Amino acid sequence: MKSTELLYLQDSYLFTESAEILEISENEFWKYIILDRTIFYPQWGWQPSDMWIITLWENSFKVHKCMLDSGWVVYHYGENTYWEFKIWDEVTLDIDKDYRITNSRNHSAGHLVDVAMDILWYDRFLKAWKWFHFPEGSYVEYSGEIPEDLEVMREKLSATFEELSERSIPINVKYEWLWELEAPTGKSPRWVEFEWYVWCGCGGTHVKNSSEIGRVSVRKMKYKKWVLKVSYETEKPNHLPSYKPRA
């Protein structure tokens, strides 16, 4: 099966698009559709998948979850209202816009935790090794020895987030490869950075700048067996830009 072109890597604000059906089938749990390209983000360990609907005229398929296999093929799992799709049909994809923006804000906030750690020079002692960017229970884990008392670190991180939340730092993306790999267009890793800070390989969706994240706060910090867990949460900004689907 040909790898799926991952359009969400190119534009996190692409909420509707067309695609061609390559396969229609089902397993013991779900019916699924495979497309030549997709705007649906498939669930990885750090961010939940997009949801909503695939349509062709009156035919519709409600997408509950998407997954990515080792061959970079996206499976769109769900249930059909009508099951009259055929291979090679050109269908319309629509994702839940609010859910996408929520997940993008939360994922970008996780990267902002790394920025704060970098500003405070904690990255000299601690290295990020695990991420969880779901809206419920978001955290970043670091391995190493903490350089200061945990409460002191929490206070400094909170103050740094306060400063960063008042700025509108652009989030940049580039598609240069660090390794010589053959890959389909749009395949991760691509590189993401808050401007002037460290580049990070990332396959998730992001907002355009830090002002769209809203206020980030440290919910809890825990240090055990050389692992620092920084749990964070975001407060939605009062005004978010209005992004219209492409015509």
Look at residue 179 and tell me if it is in a domain.
yes
105 shares its domain with 125? yes
48 shares its domain with 148? no
Is a pLDDT exceeding 50 seen at residue 18? yes
Q: What pTM, to 2 d.p., does this model score?
A: 0.88
Domain boundary among 33, 63, 95: 95
Counting residues of the chain whose pLDDT is more than 70, the rounded percentage is: 88
**Residue with the larger pLDDT of the pair 149 and 241:** 149
177 shares its domain with 230? yes
Is a pLDDT exceeding 60 seen at residue 188? no
Q: Which of 44-48, 102-106, 173-177, 197-201 shows the highest mean pLDDT?
A: 102-106
pLDDT for res 241: 55
**Residue with the larger pLDDT of the pair 110 and 191:** 110
Look at residue 111 and tell me if it is in a domain.
yes
Give the range of the structural domain holding residue 10, as residue numbers without chain letter: 5-95
Strand-strand pairing, 126-132 and 139-144: antiparallel
Q: Which residues make Cβ contacts (< 8 Å) with residue 153, sequence separation at least 6? A: 120, 122, 146, 147, 221
Instruction: Measure the CA–CA gap between 168 and 213, rounded to whole angstroms.
Output: 10
214 shares its domain with 110? yes
Residue 185: pLDDT band by 50, 70, 90 thresholds?
very low
45 shares its domain with 131? no
Instruction: Measure the CA–CA gap between 157 and 145, rounded to whole angstroms.
Output: 17
Work out the average pLDDT over 187-206.
81
Look at residue 242 and tell me if it is in a domain.
no
126 shares its domain with 225? yes
**Residue with the larger pLDDT of the pair 233 and 83:** 233
**Residue with the larger pLDDT of the pair 35 and 172:** 35
Residue 24 belongs to what H/E stretch? Answer: strand 16-26
54 shares its domain with 137? no
pLDDT for res 182: 43
Whichever domain contains 85, its CATH number is 2.40.30.130
Cβ burial, residue 151 (10 Å; 0-12/13-18/19+): exposed
Whichever domain contains 221, its CATH number is 3.30.980.10
Work out the average pLDDT over 119-142.
93
Look at residue 58 and tell me if it is in a domain.
yes
Query: What three-state secondary structure class fits 39?
Result: coil
Instruction: Measure the CA–CA gap between 82 and 133, rounded to whole angstroms.
Output: 34
Instruction: Measure the CA–CA gap between 213 and 206, rounded to whole angstroms.
Output: 9
Domain boundary among 51, 76, 95: 95
34 shares its domain with 9? yes
Look at residue 55 and tell me if it is in a domain.
yes
Work out the average pLDDT over 113-132.
94
105 shares its domain with 205? yes
Check the CA dihedral 104-69-2-96 and report its sign.
Answer: negative
Look at residue 241 and tell me if it is in a domain.
no
Look at residue 247 and tell me if it is in a domain.
no
Look at residue 156 and tell me if it is in a domain.
yes
Residue 180: pLDDT band by 50, 70, 90 thresholds?
very low
Is a pLDDT exceeding 90 seen at residue 238? no
pLDDT for res 187: 47
The answer to whether the peptide bond before residue 189 is cis (omega within 30 degrees of 0) is yes
Work out the average pLDDT over 18-25.
96
| ∠ Cα 114 118 124 (to 5°) | 115
CB 112 within 8 A of CB 216: yes
78 shares its domain with 166? no
110 shares its domain with 212? yes
pLDDT for res 220: 95
73 shares its domain with 139? no
Is a pLDDT exceeding 50 seen at residue 184? no
CB 199 within 8 A of CB 191: yes
Is a pLDDT exceeding 60 seen at residue 244? no
Q: What is the pLDDT of residues 24-80, one digit of tens each?
A: 998 888 899 999 999 999 987 689 999 999 999 888 999 999 999 988 899 999 987
For the chain, what is the mean pLDDT?
87
Domain boundary among 72, 95, 118: 95
The count of domains in the chain is 2
